[in-house]
Amino acid sequence: MTTTASLEFDHVELLIGSVESAADANAKAVRNTVLSPRFYTTDFKAMDRLNIESVRTEWDVMMKEYEGDNNHDHFQRDAQFAEEVKTLMPQLSPEMRQEFLDFLISSLTSEFSGCILYNEIRKNIDNPDIKQLMTYMARDESRHAGFINQSLKDFDLGIDLGQLKRTKAYTFFKPKYIFYATYLSEKIGYARYITIFRQLERHPDKRFHPIFRWFERWCNDEFRHGESFALIMRSQPELLRGVNLWWIRFFILAVYATMYVRDHTRPLLHEAMGFKSTEYDYEVFRITSEIARQVFPVEVDIDHPTFRACMERLVELSIANAKAKERGGVLGLIGQASSALAAVWTFGRLYFLPVKRNNLPAQVRVQPAW
């Protein structure tokens, strides 16, 4: 079995496919796979009933920050941006170009997913606190998605966002699952962007695209979005105890495992930044787990040898699954079924590993100090 440290390009290609035209790029954004970002919808009536009074003081401070909008002028390209695109992009190898495009398309889909969800909630509720929050977050995510799309347009691979909104399938999640999943994806988004930004700050020669210079101020938006869900969950303490602790474990592991497998399909991208995918992901896990102590009473043990072995195993199984799919026929189907079963078993092992317990702090909010 191939180890992830030496994931070969034919495996990468099997897992991410290749993008040669705008039609390919749009098809990739629409497609739902186990690894691709999804679009969500929820129970708007339940969202409308949320009461955040118990966290009012911290909530109001946060709302002032949104109102101040310190990133209002950030998502604009300067002359140097165009210059760097022109000189740097032709230097990418075809393999590296595919991994970078995959990164841009999945990041855009995930930014736009937030934009749609927050906007739909805003339109369908009257609760003034939640409505105002959703307005601000949709504003930020639409800037983020638009900014990434400009970089795809440099390759003539712009995504038609209106079309994507109409054609991609939506997954329904009850509000509490939206809170767990979205909190995690916002904080992971912060951790991913800041880890890349810090690395390239130390090694500017490895900054192969100008978009990474935007990541520092950008990730502060994601951090604040995460803070908003932390406050909502802390204002509904029943979401953070009893059987819900098992749901929290499930979501942490599902989000971590998906990110780990997906990132291991982009070894060249991380190598270009001077990372190994594994090393990058554990830094992101470490930061996210530290931040999540503000809200989750349980924390998965990312240094447990079984945790590490299971994450590796999931990468191997997703390669085996993609190979079986390519082979086709009865043998291919058997191969796909057996790798899927093994993945469920591996996820089960992760799920029943011992967790660490946290006492939640009286003050919920933390500063983006990574």
Q: Strands 170-172 and 298-300: what pairing?
A: unpaired
Shortest reach from residue 119's CB to Fe ion, in Å = 13
Question: Measured between alpha carbons, how far is residue 38 from residues 6, 42, 96, 112, 181 in Å?
Answer: 29, 13, 25, 10, 11
Q: Which of 27, 83, 62 is nearest to 133 (CA)?
A: 62
Shortest reach from residue 145's CB to Fe ion, in Å = 8
Identify which of residues 186 and 263 has a Cβ nearer to Fe ion in the complex. 186
Length of the chain: 370
Identify which of residues 114 and 368 has a Cβ nearer to Fe ion in the complex. 114
Distance of CA 184 to the CA centre of its chain: 8
Shortest reach from residue 270's CB to Fe ion, in Å = 21
Shortest reach from residue 224's CB to Fe ion, in Å = 8
218 touches 74 (CB < 8 A): yes
Tokens of 176: 């509490």
Shortest reach from residue 108's CB to Fe ion, in Å = 10
Q: Strands 298-300 and 355-357: what pairing?
A: antiparallel
Tokens of 169: 């399938």
Identify which of residues 47 and 314 has a Cβ nearer to Fe ion in the complex. 47
SS3 assignment, position 171: strand
Return residues touching Fe ion (CB under 5 A).
111, 114, 141, 144, 186, 222, 225
SS3 assignment, position 299: strand
39 touches 166 (CB < 8 A): no
Shortest reach from residue 107's CB to Fe ion, in Å = 9
**Helix axis angle, 175-202 to 277-291, nearest 10°:** 130
Shortest reach from residue 132's CB to Fe ion, in Å = 16
Identify which of residues 133 and 317 has a Cβ nearer to Fe ion in the complex. 133
Identify which of residues 144 and 213 has a Cβ nearer to Fe ion in the complex. 144
Identify which of residues 192 and 225 has a Cβ nearer to Fe ion in the complex. 225
Identify which of residues 189 and 267 has a Cβ nearer to Fe ion in the complex. 189
